[in-house]
Amino acid sequence: MFVRNALAAMKIVAMLAGLLSAGACVSAPPTPALPVPPSSTQPAAAAPVSPPARVTPAGPADSPSPVAAAANADVEHVRAVRSGDGSWTFHVTVRHPDTGWEDYADGWDVVLPDGSVVKPDPDSLFTRLLLHPHETEQPFTRSQSGIVIPPGVTTVTVRAHDLVDGWGGRAVAVDLAAASGPNFEVVQ
């Protein structure tokens, strides 16, 4: 857990440094404190219980910038599987010419028709945070479970984010009421 939080913190710092060097004006969210690993004399604390999924409204930071027109993190395929509890697992295949830590696809989102983003982890930057480059694995598929789609919503859009260029690559519209469609399949 400590390593994962440290990697996420390093990724955020790299993203902010890239934005600042490009002349962008950013206000960073507060950085959570990293947990201290338990010493050998202290018992390890129980893992915290995850809060329910949260829907986050898309804001100005989520809007495409002029640079995003060059973004090239493309969603190639989505497989959405509904669980018995009504939540969804999304298996998303992304293609991006990752070159290493300086430029890679760093996350993907499930976006509702009103523009809000569904995030099982409310503290995550994306619906699914990608913590490392995939230069030798293209395209690659990563999954996220615990995605709660509000009642009455039958269509979502899945988009991928590029660390350097942001949003703007190919997105896939998923009709959750259909068995399949262009670049998606749904299992109810």
| Residues across the chain | 188
In the predicted structure, residue 172 carries a pLDDT above the cut 60:
yes
This prediction's pTM: 0.65
Alpha helix (H) ranges present in the chain? Answer: 2-21
Q: What is the pLDDT of residues 79-111, one digit of tens each?
A: 999 999 999 999 999 999 888 999 999 999 999
Q: What is the pLDDT of residues 141-156, one digit of tens each?
A: 999 999 999 999 999 9
Query: What per-residue confidence (pLDDT) applies to 85?
Result: 95
Output the furthest CA–CA distance in the chain (Å, rounded).
56
Q: Using pLDDT thresholds of 50, 70 and 90, give the confidence band for residue 17.
A: very low
The CA distance from 92 to 143, in Å, is 6
In the predicted structure, residue 48 carries a pLDDT above the cut 70:
no
